[in-house]
Structure 1
Amino acid sequence: MNVSDIFDRHARNYDGERERLIPGFHDFYGVAVDVLTFEGDNPKVLDLGAGTGLLTEFLLKKYPNAEVELIDLADNMLDVARERFKDNPNISYRNENYLTAEFDGEYDIIMSSLSIHHLTQEEKGFLYEKYVNLLNDGGIFINADLVCDEDDSVERLFYKKVDDLILQNVSLEEFEQANERRKFDDTDSIQYQLDCLKESGCNMVGVPFKFYTHAVLWGQK
């Protein structure tokens, strides 16, 4: 079983689980959108590993006329997004691997949430270079994701803190299912990923949000 199979199986329950499984859920997604700066109301946006379109929904509250392209390997997840945005003609969908997909044109915003941490370190480096190159000058890359700490002891402490918070909101069965999905995680440090953004052509990078194992990484070309 691969990552797309796992998320296809949980597509219908995914959104309901997010708020219970992500401590600081509203800040995590809210800051990811708040830090976006685009002059106008119709940016061209690419959502990598878009899943059910949760991050896009947050973005559309700020930019309701945005033109958004959602790409994801798990088609059942995209089906939820298609249903969510069925009345919005500015939303398009691609059931593809974003590491190998080809694109025409450039974007004002490229964003991702809880997807890139499934990639190897080498794949992350490739992804940042590929997609920063697709940004317009002044364009923004946002990754709201799981990260690891360079100190293993700190990382274990932070995961324990997060697990304690999660267990206040979910059943043991739901917690164990979430832990099964963790087997597909391959997290990297904030510093490594900020370095990737810089080396790929971002003039400014930063971390507008971090809560234990969750962080929003920001880069502007």
Structure 2
Amino acid sequence: MGTEFNDLFEEWAEAYDSFVEGQDPEYKEVFARYEAILDRVVQQSFGNVLEFGVGTGNLTKKLLVSGRNVYGIEPSREMRRIAKQKLPVGTSIREGDFLSFAAPADIDTIVSTYAFHHLTDEEKRLAIEKYGQLLREGGKIVFADTIFTDREAYDKTVQTALAKGFTNLAADLQREYYTLIPIMESMFADYGFTVTFTRYNHFVWVVEAVKNSERGI
């Protein structure tokens, strides 16, 4: 993952929590059922958790309350600052991203919300390969992110956003790297994961991948 979105992360930091609370009409549907999405990620995680894209710390806080050991990775300095204000002193949040990070050797679950789309499909594949090497059999990846069933669904979503005058949302959809379910399913299968997709709103699916073997590694 390059640094092309770092300026955006810094821009969004102060306003991010207002978005997730549904205060911006452009992004209200993107964050519909937000708490349920975070709760699902927490429920499907276990043990020592590596979290990518900590953001303002909303998922991290839930993970800690549920008794998980969390090692957080976040590229934005401003996001890290806000997260640390919410979280217990000593919570581990390090600078890094999906592909460039330092992590403990003993990781059971890798989680992320609203962030994996910042990687190109090639970068997503590299990341999944790396996580397959990091996790033991039975380890899990649990991501919540915007994904589309097919290209037609993606195109229709962009056109609907434009028709509603949601120009910022349309620009985000066209600038970032939203992938398709069949592509992501194939990536996980190639590195020995069984994956399921559960839809939570028009945009967001929770992706749960369990490592079954060393196949592909």
TM-score normalised to the size of structure 2? 0.81
Query: How far apart are the structure 1 equivalents of 2:200 and 2:188?
Result: 17
Query: How far apart are the structure 2 equivalents of 1:33 and 1:159?
Result: 30
Mapping of residues 192-211 of structure 1, within 5 Å = 192-202=183-193, 204-211=194-201
Deviation string 1:16-35 (CA, Å, 9 cap, x unpaired) is: 21232212323322222233
Does the residue aligned with 1:112 lie in a helix, a strand or coil? strand
% identical aligned pairs: 25
Deviation string 1:74-116 (CA, Å, 9 cap, x unpaired) is: 11111111111133x3x21111233122434031110011111
The answer as to whether partners of 2:150 and 2:180 remain within 8 angstroms in 1 is yes
* Structure 2 gaps, min length 5: 212-217
Q: Which amino acid aligns with 1:155?
A: Y
Does the residue aligned with 2:175 lie in a helix, a strand or coil? coil
Query: How far apart are the structure 2 equivalents of 1:147 and 1:113?
Result: 12
The answer to whether 1:54 aligns with 2:58 is yes
* Structure 1 gaps, min length 5: none
Does the residue aligned with 1:76 lie in a helix, a strand or coil? helix
Report the equivalent of 1:6: 8
Report the equivalent of 2:76: 74
Q: Which amino acid aligns with 1:206?
A: T
Report the equivalent of 1:31: 40
Q: RMSD of aligned C-alpha atoms?
A: 2.4
The answer to whether 1:136 aligns with 2:145 is no
TM-score normalised to the size of structure 1? 0.79
Mapping of residues 86-105 of structure 1, within 5 Å = 86-87=88-89, 89=90, 91-105=91-105
User: What number of residue pairs does the alignment pair up?
Assistant: 201
The Cα shift of 1:136 comes to 2.9
Does the residue aligned with 1:101 lie in a helix, a strand or coil? coil
Deviation string 1:120-154 (CA, Å, 9 cap, x unpaired) is: 110000011111221233211011001123242x3
Does the residue aligned with 2:15 lie in a helix, a strand or coil? helix
The answer as to whether partners of 2:196 and 2:209 remain within 8 angstroms in 1 is yes
Q: Which amino acid aligns with 2:14?
A: R
Change (3 A) 1:74 1:179: farther
The answer as to whether partners of 1:52 and 1:77 remain within 8 angstroms in 2 is yes
Report the equivalent of 1:150: 150
The answer as to whether partners of 1:6 and 1:181 remain within 8 angstroms in 2 is no
Report the equivalent of 2:205: 215
Query: How far apart are the structure 2 equivalents of 1:23 and 1:16?
Result: 13
Does the residue aligned with 2:54 lie in a helix, a strand or coil? coil
Change (3 A) 1:104 1:35: closer
